[in-house]
Structure 1
Amino acid sequence: MQGWHSYLDSATPIFLLEAHSDRILPELRDNFPRSASRRRQNWFMLERVTLNVTLQSHRSPTFMDCIINRRARFSASHRYYLPEWDEAENQRRFGLGSRFPGHGHNYELYVSLHKELNLYGMVENLSTVKQVIKREITSQLDYSYLNQVWPEFQQTLPTTENIARVIWQRLTPYLPLVKIQLFEHPELWAEYQGKDMEATLTIKTHFSAAHRLALPQLTLEQNSEIYGKCARVNGHGHNYHLEVSVAGEIDPRTGMIVDLGDLQKAIDELVVEPFDHAFLNKDIPYFAEVVPTAENIALHIAQLLEERIRQLGAELDKVKLIESPNNSAEIHCRGSVQAPRQLLEKTLTAV
């Protein structure tokens, strides 16, 4: 493949000419020698197709639009505490997060920008993006006490989801934002996409389980033809990583879309405890007849969680199950998870 371990500007002509297509293409068209070799003719034909797209007045969004992501980090402390509640109520609502004087995190921020590529092959100059993020966000938040650093956090607590929302508000005058993703730690993060007070919150957890992929009505030979080694009668196991994303409205006072403790409890009770160190085909009744593929496991987890999360005041947004570094499945859950063929999106990467 062209581009593998190559210097793109010289090895791949598109990178050399695309940014200056308006000036270069007419000149090439007028001066390109008719007696050129076949290789140069093929090169020019490829460039001409690419550059003609660049020159169109109505550019294809699927070809010319791009999303870029910029990472930044800051360390800060915060406290979940509302003065209108007494100590007991704050403790009941926020648990250890209410303790004085607070606690801290090493936050990891991803800023996603979306715009049409400019003549220089960029959505935005990343040096400029870096400076804006530092000036408006990280230089102010790093080593700060979040409850007091910005006025937005004095009215609404600086939860992960609310910090993401406020970061969006402070960056959107300067950058073409499409998403803010903020990791409080590797197993908890929030996403905000500019929809008023709506945000998503994701919890990541794990469990270990065994399974066998086989349809009960088929022979061992038939199942082996379909599922390969995964059909062997004694099964095999995985260390599953599970991501559960919920969506909701950020409370204007607590800053939360859902009680984090209640959400974690629901995931533990309905999924982690029954699934961990289980032989799924035998220990989980649902899989007595349903083949426990990564897709079906993710779907069943979504079905188990949907109503409980609704009772917590949020909506199940997505379930992602990572079976191995090469194999994961996602269920997009807005609406209903009772129609798996409409809602299932599987991602498989070849070994």
Structure 2
Amino acid sequence: MECIITRRANFSASHRYWLPEISETENIEKFGTSSRFPGHGHNYVLFVSLIGEINEYGMVQNLSKVKKILHQEVTSQLDNSYLNHTWSEFTQTLPTTENIARVIWNRLIGHLPLVNIQLFEHPELWADYQGKSMEAHLTVSTHFSAAHRLAHPHLTDAENYEIYGKCARPHGHGHNYHLEVTVKGEIDPRIGTIVDLEALHKVIDDHVIQLFDHTFLNKDIPYFAEVIPTTENMTIHIRDLLKLPIQELGAHLYKVKLIESPNNYSEAYS
């Protein structure tokens, strides 16, 4: 019987985005504040997922051994380090979040039956790598606040209340929405990114946040004049708004996840 287990680990490290083959001005234009000397740091959170058959002891892997391997092969080497100089792989390809995840996979795959490496640079940026050459996923998280009313335009107030309950009240209600956008692409063999992160943030801000934030969705967003702004419909609409602009950045939109509350969220794949 096959099962997937995940082990968490942490390390703190610094890095710098800097290419010696281009000028200082070009590095600043390309990487912004991330090019500053001597670098900047993060408290990285690593999730290592393993797949395998459950053995006679009820385990896929002995987690004590997994912990030891992660310490020996990853965290003891990366913790409190300057990544650019720590592993030779980072002299060829910059230590971006997605490339760090890729290199960790390559260093662990000989020891553990990996299925996914997930690396958080911070709570609003993380990468997933699954051993597919240079392909990786990058997720950014953001938020907006909006109000909506759930009511079908062709039903009476009583009928809407029967379907949607308190969400059908005429003055609506609001949420602090959390939005996660995942893109897929090939890691650039020199720069280490799958997409220009600043450009990705701008696309999300221009096409979603500026449009949705502090609005009454039913009245302020033309799309929702006829379409009921449920979390599901919002997720689909956001996916459709982002697909082409992200493609124009050279990446592919993989998934949109919209969290309405701690109890409810919706996902749509592209």
Q: How does 1:228-239 map to 2 (within 5 A)?
A: 228-239=165-176
- 2:221 paired with 1:284: yes
The equivalences for 1:119-198 within 5 A come to 119-198=56-135
**After the TM superposition, which residues 247-326 of structure 1 pair with which residues of structure 2 at under 5 Å, given as runs?**
247-326=184-263
- What letter corresponds to residue 103 of structure 1 in structure 2? H
Q: Which has the higher contact order (CA 8 A, sep 6+)?
A: 2
The offset of 1:332, in angstroms, is: 1.2
User: Which protein has the bigger strand share?
Assistant: 2
Amino acid at match of 1:153: F
Cross-structure match for 2:147: 210
The aligned counterpart of 1:93 is 30
Q: Which moved more, 1:102-111 or 1:268-277?
A: 268-277
SS of residue matched to 1:147: helix
Provide TM-score, normalisation by structure 1.
Answer: 0.76
Amino acid at match of 1:179: N
| Distance in structure 1 (CA, Å) of the matches to 2:242 and 2:73 | 38
Alignment of 1:37-116 (within 5 A): 64-116=1-53
Residue-pair matches, total: 270
SS at match of 1:121: coil
Amino acid at match of 2:247: R
Task: Give structure 2 stretches of 5+ with no counterpart.
Answer: none
Distance 1:278 1:155 in 2: 46
Show structure 1 runs of 4+ deviating over 6 A.
Answer: none
SS at match of 1:303: helix
**TM-score, normalization: structure 2?**
0.99
Q: Which has the higher helix share?
A: 1
Q: 1:4-33 CA distances to partner (integer Å, 9 max, x unpaired)?
A: xxxxxxxxxxxxxxxxxxxxxxxxxxxxxx
Distance in 2 of aligned mates of 1:326 and 1:277? 22
Identity %: 70
The residue type equivalent to 1:222 in the other structure is: E
> CA deviation digits over 1:253-309, x for unaligned, max 9?
000000000000111111111111110001111101000000000111000000000
Deviation digits for residues 206-229 of structure 1, max 9, x if unmatched?
Answer: 111000001111111111111111
* CA–CA distance in structure 2, aligned partners of residues 86 and 211 of structure 1: 50
1:92 is displaced (CA, Å) by: 1.0
In the TM superposition, residue 87 of structure 1 has moved relative to its aligned partner by 1.1
**Backbone CA RMSD of aligned residues:** 0.5
Residues 184-232 of structure 1 deviation map (CA, whole Å, 9 limit, x = unaligned): 0000000000000000000000111000001111111111111111111
Structure 2: distance between partners of 1:283 and 1:101: 46
Match of 2:161 in 1: 224
